[in-house]
A and B are shown apart, each in its own frame.
Chain A
C-alpha cells in the first residue's frame, strides 16, 4: 500500500531548514502554502514556506504558539494565488515526530511538518497528517520538488527526509 506522498518545494524545504537553524535553540514556526489552482488531489503540493514569529510567552525552546491574527493575515495575503494548507515547526534537540503536546492541539486537514534540529548534524524533516477519528498523526512521505517533473526514486524516502 502506498501512502499518499506530498510534494515539498525545494525553496520551501531550504527555507524551513534555515529558519530552524537560525532559531535554535528556540522553536520556529511558519505556514505552508499550496497553489490555489491545484486540484484537490494535488493540494499537498507545499510550494512555499512562510516564516511567522513564535509567540509563545515562555519556554520557546519547547513551545511554539502562532498568533491567530498572524494566521489570518497570512491566509489573506496568500490569496488568490496560494492557499494556507499547513504548518511547520521545529523541535530543537527532539525527534522529528509530533509530541503529545502537538497531538493535543492538532487540526484535521492541515499538513504538518516537524523539523528536528540537533545541536550538531543535519536536521531531519517529518511530515504528518492528523486523523481526527483516531486522534493520531499519520506519517506522510515527502518528495522534494525542484519545480520540474521528477520521478527520481531517490527523492522518495519513507517518512522523514534526511539530508
Chain B
C-alpha cells in the first residue's frame, strides 16, 4: 500500500518544483516516491534519474537521515511519515587526476564525452575497461578502429593478414600512399597508437581460423565483423555465439551497406538470417564488383556507434533490426529480423556445438590462400605461351565494359557475364576457349555456363587479369 512521504528538495532543484522546499508524495519505495515526484514535475527527472532509470551518481538520497546506499537503494521501503531528503553531491577541485584514475590529459582528451550525461566519467571508465576485437582492418575496419581508438576503448584487437595495396587507399583510411607493401597490421597499430597512446592496440597477425577463433574471441567483450567473405563471416558469427559476445555486423556492396548486431541476448544470429551460404561466386566481392569508397566509412562508423552503445549500455541497440543503407538514393531502411527457433546454432535445440570447416561449408578456398588449381583453370604463364602459339585459344573476357576500358589482355573478346547466355552463338564451339575476369570468380561461373551449354575444353584464367598483371604483364594497369 502506498505511503505518504515528505520529500525535502534542495535549493538547486526547487526551481523545478515551483520553488517548494518540501513536498508530499506517495509510493511504497524510495524509488517509487521519487518516480511519482518526477512524474508530477517532469523537469526534475533528468536531475534525479540517469537515462537508464537509476538514480544519478551526483545525487544522494537519505531516508530519515540514512543514506539509501546503505539500505536497499531505490528499493528501500517507505512508511507514512518518513522523510526523504534529496541532497546534491558536491565535489570539485583543481584539475589533475580524478578519483577515477583519469589523468588530466585524459580528462581533456575525452571532455566532449564527459559532458554527455549518457557517457560521463562512469561511461568513459566503461570504455576504458572495454575490449573490442576487429576482424579485418580494411574498408570497414579502418574507420571503426579509428573512432573506437579515439573514443578511448581500452583494448582494441585487430585480426588481419594482408599487406597494404594501392587499390586499398580509395577507402581504407588507416593507410597512406607510403604504406603500400607494408603489413596492414603494423601500419594500423602505429596509427591507432599515435591517435591515442592511452589505449592498447593488440595485433593478431594471420587470418581468423577455426583453430584460433574461440581463443581469440574469449578475450574480448564485443567482436566487430569487418570481413569481406562468407567463410570468415560465418566463422565470426559462430565463434561469437559460442563465446557469448555480441557481433557487430557490417557489409558493403557497390553503393549499399548493411548493419546489425548479432548474438545479443534475445536477438538473432547470422545463421538465423542466412542458414546456408550462397553458392560460391554468386555474390562477387568488392574486388570484383567495386564499391564506393565512402560507403565503408558510413557502414564502419555505424558499427562503431553500435559498439559504443553496447559497451556503454545506452540507447536502443540495433538488435533484431537490419539497417540497409542505399548511398545512391541516400536512404536508410530497416528490416525486422528475428531469432529463428530452429536455428542450428543459437536456437533452443541447437545442434552445432563447435566450429566447423568454413571454406568447405561455403565451397570456397580459405582467405589468404591461393585457390587450388583444378582441371578447368590455366595459369597465366601457360596462357601467355598458348597465346604465342600458332593455334591460340579464343580468349573471352566476361568483365564489364568499365573494366575492359581499364585493362585487357591483347586479342580478347568482351562478352559481359550477364550477356553470355544470349550471345553464346558468337562463340565457336569447336575452338579451345579461355575465359577470364578480374579475379577468377565470374570466369568460373562462365566456364560452368558454357560447359552446361555443351562447350568442351573451356578453361579460365587462374587469379584473373589481376594475376596476369602481376605475373605476365607488369605494365598493365591494376584496379
Contact = CB atoms under 8 A, between A and B. Distances in A.
A57 B91 CA distance: 12
A107 B96 contact: no
Interface stretch (A6-14, A69-77, A145-153, A155-163): A69-77
B97 interface: yes
A86 B478 CA distance: 70
B91 A56 contact: yes
Contact of B90 (A57, A105, A135): A105
Given A69-B65, A135-B115, A99 B12 contact: no
Nearest to B111: A100
Contact of A62 (B10, B96, B108): B96
Contacts of A61: 94
Contacts of A110: 11-12, 88
Interface in A45-69: 56-59, 61-66, 68-69
B121 interface: yes
A59 B96 contact: yes
A124 to B, nearest CB: 13
Contacts, number: 111
Given A71-B87, A135-B115, A84 B11 contact: yes
Contact of A108 (B15, B93, B95, B114): B15
A66 B91 contact: yes
Interface string B74-100: 000000000001011111111111110
A84 B62 CA distance: 18
B95 A105 contact: no
Contacts of A94: 94-95
Given A58-B99, A68-B60, A83 B11 contact: yes
Contacts of B95: 62, 94, 99-101
Interface residues of B, number: 33
B93 A63 contact: yes
Contact of A66 (B90, B94, B99): B90
B92 to A, nearest CB: 4
B90 A27 contact: no
A72 B65 CA distance: 9
A102 B92 contact: yes
A15 interface: no
Contact of B93 (A68, A69, A89): A89
B62 A68 contact: yes
Contacts of A29: 90
A71 B87 CA distance: 7
Nearest to B120: A104
A106 B65 CA distance: 24
Nearest to A58: B99
Contact of B62 (A58, A69, A87, A107): A69
B219 interface: no
A72 B62 contact: yes
A64 B11 contact: no
Which has the most chain A C-beta neighbours within 10 Å: B58, B62, B87, B120? B87
Interface of B: 8, 10-15, 58, 60, 62, 65, 67, 85, 87-99, 107-108, 111, 114-115, 120-121
16 contacts: A56-B91, A66-B89, A66-B90, A71-B10, A83-B11, A84-B11, A85-B11, A99-B94, A101-B95, A102-B93, A104-B114, A104-B120, A105-B58, A107-B12, A108-B15, A109-B15
8 residue pairs, one from A and one from B, having the closest CB atoms: A68-B60, A94-B94, A102-B92, A68-B87, A63-B93, A66-B90, A62-B96, A109-B12
